[in-house]
Amino acid sequence: MLDIKFLRENPDVVKQNIKNKFQDSKLPLVDEVIKLDSEYRAYKGEADSLRGGRNKLSKEIGMLMAQGKREEAEAVKKQVTDNARRLAELEQLEVEYQEKIKKIMMVIPNIIDPSVPIGKDDSENVEIQKYGEPVVPDFDIPYHAEIMENLSGLDLESARKVAGNGFYYLMGDIARLHSAIISYARDFMIDRGFTYCIPPFMIRSEVVTGVMSFAEMDAMMYKIEGEDLYLIGTSEHSMIGKYIDTIVPEESLPHTLTSYSPCFRKEKGAHGIEERGVYRIHQFEKQEMIVVCKPEESPVWFDKLWQNTVDLFRTLDIPVRTLECCSGDLADLKVKSIDVEAWSPRQKKYFEVGSCSNLGDAQARRLRIRVNGKDGKYFAHTLNNTVVAPPRMLIAFLENNMNADGSINIPVALQPYMGGKTKITK
């Protein structure tokens, strides 16, 4: 969400940004919202002066009453009532215009970073760098569900009976591996100076609408029946929500947090939910990192954040690459975004395991997250990135650490979390 003042003063910048994102159908909204805004301010001006007059007269009534001049007071009362109708009308208009303006401002995309490559959709995303050698072994790598089942580590059939498609039972060493990865990722981030946090797994609707658009909400969020609560789709929701309506002291910045949570997603309309396995599922667990910082520091934090994910995967012997989101594929709230993708020796391509985003001040403006600085108050910048999200991450882990006999090597870094095991075997 942009600052309307910025839009008012730089309509051409906003329009060029819309073109860069290939959302030309939104171009007329810019002039429309400028017109609505000037009309709104005119109504507000008139209403303010009527309210001012009313306040003045009301004070007079108070004074007259105090002096016992009852009749004069009644006369002034009448004057006030005369303006009441026009004021009520204007107040109605103020609300209507505010709503109209907000609705449009919510869909006008954030100004993207100049470094973002211009492109229509995900096919034009740009590979930045590869880390590690993408190896294809000389034996066949089975589908990930099969690898897990061969190790007695996955029971989809029972999960379907109990909860339906998109759920899973992880069993034995695979379940332990899952927990080990989460714990390892937690300690990895703590070692890099992040504060560990376990947030609420349910949040109020007020927070939900603050962190995402209505369309996203409908497609992702599970609502608790009879309560004003939603299951979180990612801990970013509760972690950024933590700062709603707060004024953060400048000297306390940056806030660097790493949070654990289960994540619940409807995946409405997404293809592949019926796909066998644990790639796209209704429930998974995630170690996340978020940063709240000064505006001028967000680009530096952005690079530090995705680097953390790359480093973590490299310590687990998984080749990865970074892929920059092009302008057309970038969500409207984001200034810049990079996906971390892991190598799949079975598919012989990289697939997404994490996403790092700089939201600029867009989220902060929506949630009223401000910084109290020496030269006044301003909106903070917010960033978020996946540390690791199993079980999807397990797919990459298993495929890259598998031996010809079907056993799985445990990288040294993870062995302490697996009770010293070096290998998972049947």
Partner RNA sequence: GGAGAAUUCGCCUAGUUGGUCGAGGGCGCACGAUUGGAAAUCGUGUAACCUGUAACAGGGUUCCAGAGUUCGAAUCUCUGAUUCUCCGCCA
If one asks whether residue 55 binds RNA (CB under 7 A), the answer comes out as yes
The type of residue at 110 is N
Q: Could you tell me the smallest distance in angstroms from the CB atom of residue 264 to RNA?
A: 19
Instruction: Give 4 or 104: the residue with its C-beta nearer to RNA.
Output: 4
- Span from 42-50, 271-279, 323-331, 392-400 in contact with RNA (CB under 7 A): 42-50
Q: Which of 56, 120, 161, 268 binds RNA (CB under 7 A)?
A: 56
Q: Could you tell me the smallest distance in angstroms from the CB atom of residue 113 to RNA?
A: 24
Q: CB neighbours of 301 closer than 8 A, spacing ≥ 6?
A: 254, 291, 293, 358, 383
- Span from 48-56, 208-216, 293-301, 391-399 in contact with RNA (CB under 7 A): 48-56
Torsion of CA 276, 277, 279, 282, to 10 degrees: 90
Tell me the HSE value of 410 on the side-chain side, using a 13 A CA sphere: 22
If one asks whether residue 16 binds RNA (CB under 7 A), the answer comes out as no
Element (H, E) at 266: none
If one asks whether residue 57 binds RNA (CB under 7 A), the answer comes out as yes
If one asks whether residue 252 binds RNA (CB under 7 A), the answer comes out as no
Instruction: Give 193 or 376: the residue with its C-beta nearer to RNA.
Output: 376
Q: Which of 13, 34, 65, 244 binds RNA (CB under 7 A)?
A: 65
Q: Could you tell me the smallest distance in angstroms from the CB atom of residue 5 to RNA?
A: 7
* CA atoms 394, 399, 400, 402: torsion sign: positive
Q: CB neighbours of 218 closer than 8 A, spacing ≥ 6?
A: 268
If one asks whether residue 81 binds RNA (CB under 7 A), the answer comes out as yes
* CA atoms 223, 228, 231, 237: torsion sign: positive
Beta-bridge partner residues of 324: 126, 338
Q: Could you tell me the smallest distance in angstroms from the CB atom of residue 157 to RNA?
A: 30
If one asks whether residue 59 binds RNA (CB under 7 A), the answer comes out as yes
If one asks whether residue 137 binds RNA (CB under 7 A), the answer comes out as no
Instruction: Give 79 or 315: the residue with its C-beta nearer to RNA.
Output: 79
If one asks whether residue 251 binds RNA (CB under 7 A), the answer comes out as no
Q: Which residues of 56-87 are buried (b: 16+ CB within 10 A; e: fewer)?
A: eeeebbeebeeeeeeeebeebeeebeeeeeeb
Task: Please check whether residue 172 is in contact with residue 151, taking contact to mean a CB–CB distance below 8 angstroms.
Answer: yes
Question: What distance, in Å, lies between the first and last C-alpha atoms of the chain?
Answer: 52
If one asks whether residue 44 binds RNA (CB under 7 A), the answer comes out as yes
Q: Which of residues 83-102 bind RNA (CB under 7 A)?
A: 84
Instruction: Give 245 or 303: the residue with its C-beta nearer to RNA.
Output: 245
Q: Please report the DSSP string for 130-172 in residue order.
A: EES-----SSPPPPHHHHHHHTT-EEHHHHHHHT-TT--EE-H
Write down the H helix ranges in 22-122: 27-66, 70-107
Distance CA 23, CA 357 (A): 20
Instruction: Give 77 or 176: the residue with its C-beta nearer to RNA.
Output: 77
Binders of RNA: how many residues, by CB under 7 A?
28
Which residue in 18, 212, 1 sits closest to 105, CA to CA? 1
- Span from 58-66, 105-113, 156-164, 329-337 in contact with RNA (CB under 7 A): 58-66
- Span from 49-57, 134-142, 320-328, 388-396 in contact with RNA (CB under 7 A): 49-57
Q: Which of 102, 161, 276, 377 binds RNA (CB under 7 A)?
A: 377
If one asks whether residue 61 binds RNA (CB under 7 A), the answer comes out as yes
Instruction: Give 31 or 218: the residue with its C-beta nearer to RNA.
Output: 31
Q: Could you tell me the smallest distance in angstroms from the CB atom of residue 129 to RNA?
A: 41
Instruction: Give 65 or 171: the residue with its C-beta nearer to RNA.
Output: 65
Distance CA 424, CA 401 (A): 10
Interacting residue ranges for RNA, rule: CB under 7 A: 4-5, 41, 44-45, 47-49, 51-52, 54-59, 61-63, 65-66, 73, 77, 80-81, 84, 376-377
